[in-house]
Structure 1
Amino acid sequence: MTSRANEILPVLEQDIVTGALKPGTRLDETILAAKFGVSRTPIREALNRLSASGLVEIRPRRGAIVAAISLQDLMNMFEVMADLEALCARLAARRITPAEKTELLAAHVACDALSATDRFDDYYELNLNLHDLIYKASHNAFLEKQVRELRRRLSPHRRLQVRIPGRIGSSSEEHGALVDAIIKGDSALAEKLTRDHVAIQGERFTDFLSTLPSQYLQASA
């Protein structure tokens, strides 16, 4: 995507997942272009990316509209994501190279440096890098492609998660234990820790619900 489309995308994502743009809302390219002070090209690029992540539907003669996403669908995707990432971690613990270990540890140190701050978006980007390194260390290109595709769909919602009070700190602690397990080659522990890290359960489930706009709850009722 162009740089302008990359700037517009997170703004539209945030408006959709927080409910500022409700399901069924038409996203007119001309109006959005005027709002952001750009041509329609970067708007179209951003809308296509949102369509790929499931947040927008592009319909013939109607153009782009905000998609309705049920809470159940969202939870199902998180459940599958937890299993895919857990498999990546298990394989990474078995296959990671010495150079990859060094890179993974450095990525954790970078994340941890922000664990006591409110730099949510910066932390999220560093978090993505850390997980990318784990995918890569699995040395399974097919698995890596599948987990990246699903992560793209969940990315706006996972970005919201890091804004839950205290979540950055606990996330970094979980990363520390996970990175240690992978570096030590403990595949069973790495798998378990990753599943627990990605899955939304118990109190984390309640906290996550609090970040969602009401239409998700209505859509799943």
Structure 2
Amino acid sequence: MTSRSEILREKMEELIAVGALAPGQHLDETELAARFGVSRTPIRETLIQLASMGLVVMRPRRGALVAELGPHQLVEMFEVMSELEATCSRLAARRMTPADHVRLLAAHLACREARDASDPDAYYYKNEAFHEAIYAGSHNQFLLEQTRNLYRRLRPYRRLQLRVRDRVGASYEEHDGLVQAILAGDGDRAEQLTRSHVMIQGQRFADLMASLPQLAAGELLAPGAAGRTRREGAPAP
């Protein structure tokens, strides 16, 4: 059963992911307590948890703020992310069961429906479920946990990438090739495709850097998303 502290952490994590709490923003405990209808104690505990995840920075005597990533750190983290996910895909191609294949195909279909609806916000959540199906299909719990942790840290930036023109369509096409490789049991191909899919470089990196001011300004937040909690199917804490 999910505890109140877990629910609060998930809500704040989601606000950071969608840009409602923007990188560099000061997090006032009193304001947050009023916002969520709780005392300052659970807010403080939640901020400590988020700090342990790298989403928040705790500053002695100056309070907390939403963590920011510089260009160099972003590249390094996406580089590691691409390797973790590539390993998940390689193992998934070897280890997925028929039931795992059904879940992967269902997640892929959901991504296509969001793409066809031209809804990048919906695609973002369906995309999370798609990647989660691959993580689970690796059947390596330690790898799954480490990959989820870094995915959470990069959520605002992965979401932002989907706002770049034509990125949703390109992402889906990359998924399609990956699905075919996994279903065929071609681990090497799945690994290669995933690494290219996740890594940001060249024009993709330039597009992300050009879009960062939107994230800092809170423009990433979709209408009504402030009260949205983690969608069903997204990577679990």
TM-score (norm 1): 0.83
Say if 1:122 and 1:57 are closer, same or farther in 2 by CA, change over 3 A.
same
Length, aligned pairs only? 210
| Amino acid across the alignment from 2:14 | P
Say if 1:44 and 1:123 are closer, same or farther in 2 by CA, change over 3 A.
farther
SS of residue in 1 equivalent to 2:116: coil
Q: Determine the C-alpha separation between the residues in 2 that align with 1:126 and 1:171.
A: 12
* Gaps in structure 2 of 5+ consecutive residues: 217-237
Report the counterpart of residue 31 of structure 1 in structure 2. 31
Deviation, structure 1 residue 68: 4.1
Contact 1:52 1:153 (C-alpha < 8 Å) held by counterparts: no
Report the counterpart of residue 121 of structure 2 in structure 1. 121
For 1:108-146, what per-residue CA distance to the aligned partner results, in whole angstroms no more than 9, with x for missing partners?
Answer: 011111113343232211111111111111111121111
For 1:145-194, what per-residue CA distance to the aligned partner results, in whole angstroms no more than 9, with x for missing partners?
Answer: 11111111111211111121211111111111101110011111101110
* Aligned residue runs from structure 1 range 101-120, under 5 A: 101-120=101-120
Say if 1:194 and 1:146 are closer, same or farther in 2 by CA, change over 3 A.
same
Aligned-residue sequence identity (percent) comes to 48
* Aligned residue runs from structure 1 range 14-53, under 5 A: 14-17=19-22, 23=24, 25-34=25-34, 36=35, 38-40=37-39, 43-44=43-44, 47-48=47-48, 50-53=50-53
Say if 1:215 and 1:162 are closer, same or farther in 2 by CA, change over 3 A.
closer
* Gaps in structure 1 of 5+ consecutive residues: 217-221
Say if 1:73 and 1:190 are closer, same or farther in 2 by CA, change over 3 A.
same
Contact 2:29 2:43 (C-alpha < 8 Å) held by counterparts: yes
| Amino acid across the alignment from 1:87 | T
* Aligned residue runs from structure 1 range 5-20, under 5 A: 6-13=10-17, 14-17=19-22
SS of residue in 2 equivalent to 1:165: coil
Say if 1:38 and 1:175 are closer, same or farther in 2 by CA, change over 3 A.
same
Report the counterpart of residue 87 of structure 2 in structure 1. 87
1:211 maps onto 2:211 in alignment: yes
Contact 1:26 1:66 (C-alpha < 8 Å) held by counterparts: yes
SS of residue in 2 equivalent to 1:58: strand
For 1:92-120, what per-residue CA distance to the aligned partner results, in whole angstroms no more than 9, with x for missing partners?
Answer: 11111111111111110111111133432
Q: Determine the C-alpha separation between the residues in 2 that align with 1:136 and 1:83.
A: 16
* Aligned residue runs from structure 1 range 147-166, under 5 A: 147-166=147-166
TM-score (norm 2): 0.78
Q: Determine the C-alpha separation between the residues in 2 that align with 1:111 and 1:68.
A: 29
Q: Determine the C-alpha separation between the residues in 2 that align with 1:214 and 1:113.
A: 26
Deviation, structure 1 residue 33: 3.2
SS of residue in 2 equivalent to 1:170: helix
Judge which range, 196-205 or 78-87, deviates more.
Answer: 196-205
Report the counterpart of residue 63 of structure 2 in structure 1. 63
Say if 1:191 and 1:2 are closer, same or farther in 2 by CA, change over 3 A.
closer
Report the counterpart of residue 74 of structure 1 in structure 2. 74
| Amino acid across the alignment from 1:183 | L
Q: What is the alpha-carbon root mean square deviation over aligned residues?
A: 2.5
